[in-house]
Amino acid sequence: MSTEQPEGGRPSLSKDDRPAGAPGPADAAPGTPRTDVQPPAAAPVVPPAPIPAPGPVPVAQPGPAGPPPIPPGPGAPYGQPPGAYPPAPGSPYAQPPVAAPYPAPYGVPPQPGAPYAAPPGPYYPYGDPWAPALPAPQNGLSTAAMIVGIVGVVLSLALIGLPLGILALIFGIVGLRRARRGRSTNRGQALTGVILGPLAILASAGMLAALIWGADGRLGQINPDTTTTQPLGESVVYDDGLTVTAVEESLDGDTLTVRVSVENDTSYAVDLSKAEVYAYPAADPDAMLGLDDSRGLPPILTGDSTVTGEYVFDLPAEPGEVEIEVAPGAQYGYAHWSTDEAVGGARQSAWAPGRQVCAPACA
C-alpha cells in the first residue's frame, strides 16, 4: 500500500493503495454493509470577492413632459390620487408631486387642460326641452287701447269718441299694469291708448257742449215775462230781472229808427255782445228789413246800470205794420214790439212763440 500523500495532504484511497488481501467491493457478501466507501470530499471554500468602493450614483435627467397621469376610474376602491404619497427620499427616479385638481365650481367652465374637467352637456339648438314653457304675453288689451283711442279721436266730432275714449283709457291702464308686472311686452301701445283716450273724451265733450248750447245759446234761455207783441214804448222784464224797452225814435220815409235800452237790476255783468235786434213786415215775417247797427248796444252791461243803442231799418215802399224783436243776449229769448199802436198786446207776435229768428247774415 502506497503511503504517498497526494497533493493537498489528504491520503489516497484508490484501489491500488489497498493492502494485499483486503477484500474489495466485489468480495463483500450480499447484504453486508460496505466499509470501504469513503465519504465525498468537501468542496473547496472560495473566499468572497472584494466589495468595490461606492461611486457616484447617476441621476436621471428630466425628459420631455408626457401626458398627464390617468386618474383612477370612478368607484375604484384602491385608486389613489396622484401625489397622495411622496416618493421615498433619495430615490433617483423621484418625480415632482402633482397637485390634485379641484373640481370646477358650478357654472364656471373647465379650464383648458384640466384633467378632471367634466365633459360638456348636450347642446340643444332650441333651448332646453325639459325647461318649463313660459306663458305667452298678454298683449291684447294694450293693442285694443291703441286702436280704440285712434278711432275715438277720429270720430270725436260724431260724439262716438266719448265712449271709445273711456274704453281706450281703461284698456290702456290695464295694459300698463300688465307690462309693469311682466305679463305683456307692448307697453308703448298701452301708453298710446292712455294718451288718446282722454283726448277723444275731451273732443267729444266739447262737441256735445256746442250742440247743447247751440250757436245762439237758445237752450236754457231766459225768457221774458210775456210772449205777446207790445207797442213801441213798452218795457219787457226777463226772468233774471233784466228790463228791455224798445222806443220808436223816428219814422222818416224810407227808414225806421228804434232806440233799445237795457236796464240791469242785478249785481252781475251781462254779456250783450250777442244781442239781436230785427225788424220785418208783420204780413211777411221772412222778409227781414235791412239794418244799420253801428250805434247798437255795447258788448257788456255791468251790474245796476243801463245802456242804450240805436238801430236803423230800411223800409219798403208800403211797409204797413212793422214788427221789431229784441234778444238782449245769446241766452235770452225774444221780446216783440209793433209799430201799430192799436195792437196793445192784443195778439201774439208774427213769430210763433219759441220759434228761433236769425238775420240773413247769421243764416
Q: In this structure, are 236 and 335 located in the same domain?
A: yes
Q: In this structure, are 287 and 235 located in the same domain?
A: yes
Q: In this structure, are 339 and 235 located in the same domain?
A: yes
Neighbours of 192 (CB within 10 A): 21
145-173 pLDDT, tens per residue?
A: 999 999 999 988 888 888 999 999 999 99
Question: Residue 193: beta bridge partners?
Answer: none
Domain of 206, in residue numbers: 140-213
In a domain, 45, yes or no: no
Q: In this structure, are 204 and 173 located in the same domain?
A: yes
In a domain, 241, yes or no: yes
Q: In this structure, are 157 and 253 located in the same domain?
A: no
State how far the Cα of 286 lies from the Cα of 266, in Å rounded to an integer. Answer: 35
Q: What integer is the mean pLDDT of 195-220?
A: 78
In a domain, 35, yes or no: no
**Last residue of some domain: 213, 241, 270?**
213
175 vs 218, more confident = 175
Q: In this structure, are 327 and 260 located in the same domain?
A: yes
Q: In this structure, are 328 and 242 located in the same domain?
A: yes
Total structural domains in the chain?
A: 2
In a domain, 257, yes or no: yes
Whether the predicted pLDDT of 76 surpasses 60 = no
In a domain, 127, yes or no: no
> What is residue 355's predicted lDDT score, i.e. its pLDDT?
39
Whether the predicted pLDDT of 141 surpasses 70 = yes
**Last residue of some domain: 188, 213, 238?**
213
In a domain, 243, yes or no: yes
Q: In this structure, are 197 and 266 located in the same domain?
A: no
Whether the predicted pLDDT of 234 surpasses 50 = yes
Whether the predicted pLDDT of 126 surpasses 80 = no
On average, the pLDDT of the chain sits at: 73
For residue 308, what are the CA distances in angstroms to 120, 198, 277, 300, 311?
Answer: 102, 46, 13, 12, 10
Query: Which helix (H) or strand (E) segment is 175 a member of?
Result: helix 161-180
In a domain, 153, yes or no: yes
In a domain, 116, yes or no: no
For residue 55, what are the CA distances in angstroms to 51, 58, 257?
Answer: 12, 9, 155
> What is residue 125's predicted lDDT score, i.e. its pLDDT?
56
CB 172 within 8 A of CB 194: yes
For residue 221, what are the CA distances in angstroms to 18, 101, 179, 228?
Answer: 184, 98, 50, 18
Side chain identity, residue 139:
N
CB 200 within 8 A of CB 157: no
Confidence class for position 305, pLDDT limits 50, 70, 90? very high
Whether the predicted pLDDT of 77 surpasses 90 = no
